[in-house]
Structure 1
């Protein structure tokens, strides 16, 4: 290819001229001095042009120890055993998302295939199962079958708009990059959508999808989730054909009939690649949610670092960024931050002095070394001693002299940070763009309210399980595990009005309840459950009010 197979120039001249140069030629990097070289020499000599429009070079798949795979050494797992254990889709996705497709070598690790199964395929399947469960709940509640509506009114929910916009951006990206044969840029974006769908969209909309917002809101959420799953099926079908087909078949039950009666929709592999829906394209909402995610991730980092459970309410989160647009974007989605990080008050600022912002400079020494050569050592040794003011001046002026070496914008990486030392009250985190500062102190009044909110949710759940009507009057009893402190009694003081409004009663310790009352329901739970804090290790009961 593309010479001898056509028997050119002895015959098939016209066919050869129509197909030359080839759209693409693909082989391993070991052919650089072999087949690639031979083709290029012939093409240059015969036609004064390369014999390909696109040359795709793959790296070599090596054993985990970096050596060539060898039957004698048995330094690699049996490929068919790996396929049997994890599935062909996992192996394929692992390889096409590896350095091999960029012309670099890959040390094959079975653990990498397992990671694809755990973090990609299973999460995708879990998203589908959640959707199917939500549809079943909707059908039972409404007595009507949910079917996806392609022409449904555009949802006003910000998370619906965001995930649909992400789908359109993905479709456009995959279309453009595949046309340019840049496979290595496609897979990461597809995997990002799966992560966004499972870790963000479903997480934020779980209650909506279960019907908490009413019929029309639930229908809009289901419509959105269907479209996201369907888009994933079509865009992933070339890379994970079996999983895509399985998900597609599961979606058929809620799919409308095709607009074209002659269209064959029996398989995802009979369906055309999706086209971008311009009405859903929204780069602003994508930018806003991306920034929201960055702030939430940093908040989670601090909580993990300080082992602060999300159930523990915190008083204040300060978000610093020099760009007001960034702060406005995050503020527009403040309710999600407050709920996800369990924060009472959020402060937005671009005032460096108010937060105590300092500057530091680092460098990509491998890149800088090619420019500075022998002077690199001077700069490397001097960078740690640069003051915050010097680094800030470099950002403003775009130049700085370091140990007699003139540096300009692009030579150094300047980042902002908050220096807290051994602070017992606050903790900071940054992604080199935005900085968050979190008040990590315990606030008893916030913890008491958090306990009462948790109690309210458990009472309402127990009322539902007991089949009670909103008008039914009951008393609420609680009993802590032996040895646990009675924190409900402490929390009740001063919050009687809230409890009366929320659950219709002031909780009473079970031992203080009168005798002869009719038991209507008792919680069934594992009191030793790991995710339950000591303050919530009690069992609730509902009794008929005398």
Structure 2
């Protein structure tokens, strides 16, 4: 049987797979069944990889190999879920209802801000769908934005950041508004001040009823002008960003 044992040990991976599939193999004129040969699987770690990067465990019949190296896409998805979770908790903390519209701003407080930016870029659609609006950089928050709540978080998936919840804020296309008044800066500023004084939800309704356009003729000393949504003003910072990305 020494010859048989020697040839069995010399079987290639292909031979073993064919043996397991067929249920038998002929070695040195001996027909061996599955009950005659025990296939034991052992793991040999590839050169250049440590036990912190790849590991394996099994009972001889089944071998499970674990790749312990960090998967960037899984890491980024995990961070995105953490960010969304913090946003939802902050909404509850400040007493917002699920239907209350707010704009959400993100500020990295890490020395290296590129990591969080990479995460936000790769997970942009997931985060937007989860919170119902784009997650905005805090640098985009207009001076007239009304902040409803803010909170800082540290060492969340190795990142530290701050979240701000603000009421939807108008974004003006200053050059376009200026052209409504022939370049008169004072008049253009007067229109912006008037629009900012309006209730946001009422203003939104008026634009919807006017198919994206309203006529402003109530400002004393100024001529009547037609203000077009997307041409002269955006109702939210998020709308402005989405328009700029769509070209």
TM-score, normalized by length of structure 2? 0.45
Bigger proportion of residues as helix: 1
Larger Cα Rg: Structure 1 or Structure 2?
2
TM-score, normalized by length of structure 1? 0.24
Bigger proportion of residues as strand: 2
